[in-house]
Structure 1
Amino acid sequence: MENTFTVRTDLAVEERESFPGDGGEVSGVSLREWHRADSHIKMTEVKILDKKGEKAMGKPIGTYITLEADELSLKDENYHREVSEELANQIERLLKGKDYRKPDFHVLVAGLGNSSVTPDSLGPRVLNNLQVTRHLKVQYGEDFWKGRSMPVISGIVPGVMAQTGMESAEILKGIIKETEPDLIIAIDALAARSVKRLGTTIQLTDTGIHPGSGVGNHRHSLTSESLGIPVMAIGVPTVVGAAAIVHDTVSAMIGALSKSMETKGMGDFIGKLNSDEQYDLIRELLEPEFGPLYVTPPDIDETVKELSFTISEGIHLAFLGQEDS
């Protein structure tokens, strides 16, 4: 049976969790987990090493780093600062080997998404908090930059195709041609499988991004191959598929059905289905009635507001080495 269950999440760590075992059993995939010693931030690094791993995971070869911080949902400035610092550390890890601290290193930050739709507004809101510097070089000339260790940072909110009639990739290609950045950081909202990861998980990857892919909206990808320069992606899950929510409760439902003689047969039938078959069955039941429904938390506006600042500060710390914003 063709595997269709993997489309429900953008998070590499959730893809890896869909396999049995402790992380060493998937050919071509390595897994490492650790905790930041002085906080409750859990780190997970999933590396897809070759074509076998790429096929198994349904994601491109590269490194996927996940920060899980349950307290991100709380309005705690000190904790968000810790997350920003850790995010900066991981940005620097992915940039290892690149001279990103040189004065003329140009970073273009792209805030993907629709600012009018709250769950999809993370990218534009990060850009609202971003400290850009390219205009200083343009305004004051090369002499202004002499003796300064400040990189060139610019930003763009390309919008969505329904607003502009253009793909984000098309817009960025034009900007790249004119401004010649050394790196793109694409910020986007993601889809998750688990409700517990909504607004509490940040994923970084050096593989680029596929706008809208988490909700079945496949668009032109933003990768080093398509844009001609390195692309780093930072994303936070803000929605979860209704079918995925139901799937997470299937085991409990099977147990409940099996307790009654009247429904035991139904519970046994569902229990014999593998994960993909269960998910397909749920989608077949839900989608004719509700369509491909996605769910977001009721406090998503405040969550996105807080996270947008946390992510922008992580970028500032990584490239500017200070919190000024």
Structure 2
Amino acid sequence: MFKKRTDLALEAQELWRESAERTSRLPGVKAVKRKQEGYTVTEVRVLDERGAEALGKPVGSYRTVDLAGFWQRRPDFFPRAVRTVGTELRELLAPEGAVLVVGLGNDAMTPDAIGPETLRHLLVTRHLIASLPKQFAGFRPVAAFAAGVLGTTGVESAEAVRALVGETKPGCVIAVDALAARRMGRVCNTVQLSDAGITPGSGVGNHRAALSRETLGVPVIAIGVPTVVEASTLAADLLEEAGIPDFDPARLRTGGGEMTVTTRDIDAQVRDLAKVVGYAINWALQELEIEEITALLS
């Protein structure tokens, strides 16, 4: 059977309901939808192992912010997006303690660059608090690390982050990475936040060792932005939408391996969304307004 791929818990729930036309309540999973600053937020909670097995996601909270309206550039679109993502992140974080923000991915490959690009908009304070404790007493200690990729560093991201966690001893890790969506309509239109950790490289089909509480010894909050769709998954959806549900799954796979599809303006979209995520992390961690964040970053 052909398996459509997605890293979004929201889409995994949709796929479960579509399989065999299931209409019953999904056991071990609870979904709640709400509005925040004009943006729709859907929280999918995987409550137990039944839900984890059904969705293929670890137990935890998965919050998907729909930012499709962001690109319409309506009044205050950027501050509202930052506060929406920041509010969801703040609810997943402990109220205090040092934080390590890890930018996962390859900055030389645009669809995989959301992690490193986010760090450009991050207020790094750990060293300032250590050297000037009185002046920065009101700030939360934050460190940043661009993990790179195995092909250029020779080191697994999980190995590097584990060593850094052991040295700096943060109370929490925030990991930012690219994801894969099932539908093109969600590419660069959504942000998923989760307290269940993350598997680096999942967005570009290059799965590595997971970053989670189990592997690092501290809570791991994952922030993911879907930047690609697998070509076979997209083709399967298009065939079904065209009324052709019966097709040969093998013919959807390319001979040279799986291909991924992204948007033509992915460069600008990654830059804009990385800024939203970076500002949202700052907003969630520090007692600062967006204008103050801009002033400090400049």
TM-score (norm 1): 0.83
In structure 2, the residue matched to 1:307 is: 273
2:95 equivalent to 1:99:
yes
Counterpart of 1:69 (choices 50, 67, 70) is 67
In structure 1, the residue matched to 2:226 is: 237
Matches within 5 A, 1:19-168: 19-20=16-17, 25-36=25-36, 38-39=37-38, 41-74=39-72, 78-95=76-93, 98-100=94-96, 105-140=97-132, 142-145=133-136, 148-168=137-157
Which amino acid counterpart does residue 99 of structure 1 have in structure 2? P
Q: Distance in 1 between matches of 2:255 and 2:160?
A: 37
Go from structure 1 to structure 2 and tell me whether the alpha carbon gap of 1:233 and 1:23 turns closer, same or farther (over 3 Å shift).
farther
Judge which range, 224-233 or 11-20, deviates more: 11-20
Which amino acid counterpart does residue 84 of structure 2 have in structure 1? E
SS of corresponding position for 1:18: helix
Matches within 5 A, 1:235-274: 235-254=224-243, 270-271=245-246
Q: Distance in 2 between matches of 1:155 and 1:201?
A: 23
- Structure 1 stretches of at least 4 aligned residues deviating more than 3 Å after TM superposition: 21-24, 73-77, 142-145
SS of corresponding position for 2:148: coil
Q: Distance in 2 between matches of 1:317 and 1:253?
A: 44
How many Å apart are 1:94 and its aligned residue?
A: 1.2
Matches within 5 A, 1:184-199: 184-199=173-188
2:289 equivalent to 1:319:
no
Check conservation: 2:58, 2:196, Cα contact below 8 A: yes
Counterpart of 2:7 (choices 10, 14, 20) is 10
How many Å apart are 1:216 and its aligned residue?
A: 3.3
Counterpart of 2:251 (choices 285, 289, 303) is 285
In structure 1, the residue matched to 2:202 is: 213
Q: Deviations over 1:223-250 (max 9, x none)?
A: 0000000000001000001111111112
Counterpart of 2:264 (choices 273, 298, 310) is 298
Check conservation: 1:16, 1:23, Cα contact below 8 A: no
Which amino acid counterpart does residue 12 of structure 1 have in structure 2? A
Go from structure 1 to structure 2 and tell me whether the alpha carbon gap of 1:214 and 1:24 turns closer, same or farther (over 3 Å shift).
farther
TM-score (norm 2): 0.91
In structure 2, the residue matched to 1:176 is: 165
- 5+ residue gaps, structure 1, are 255-266, 272-277
Which amino acid counterpart does residue 117 of structure 1 have in structure 2? M
SS of corresponding position for 1:219: coil
How many Å apart are 1:251 and its aligned residue?
A: 2.4
Q: Distance in 2 between matches of 1:109 and 1:173?
A: 13
Check conservation: 1:182, 1:230, Cα contact below 8 A: yes
Which amino acid counterpart does residue 18 of structure 1 have in structure 2? L
SS of corresponding position for 1:5: coil
How many Å apart are 1:64 and its aligned residue?
A: 0.2
Check conservation: 1:88, 1:317, Cα contact below 8 A: yes
Q: Distance in 2 between matches of 1:107 and 1:244?
A: 36
Q: Percent same amino acid at aligned positions?
A: 37
Number of residue pairs the alignment of both structures matches: 288
Check conservation: 2:41, 2:66, Cα contact below 8 A: yes
Check conservation: 2:10, 2:42, Cα contact below 8 A: yes
Q: Distance in 1 between matches of 2:91 and 2:130?
A: 30
How many Å apart are 1:93 and its aligned residue?
A: 1.3
Go from structure 1 to structure 2 and tell me whether the alpha carbon gap of 1:108 and 1:5 turns closer, same or farther (over 3 Å shift).
same
- 5+ residue gaps, structure 2, are none
Check conservation: 1:88, 1:315, Cα contact below 8 A: yes
- Report which of the two structures shows the higher radius of gyration computed on alpha carbons: 1
How many Å apart are 1:74 and its aligned residue?
A: 4.6
RMSD: 2.0
Q: Distance in 2 between matches of 1:121 and 1:244?
A: 22
How many Å apart are 1:69 and its aligned residue?
A: 1.7
Q: Distance in 2 between matches of 1:202 and 1:83?
A: 10
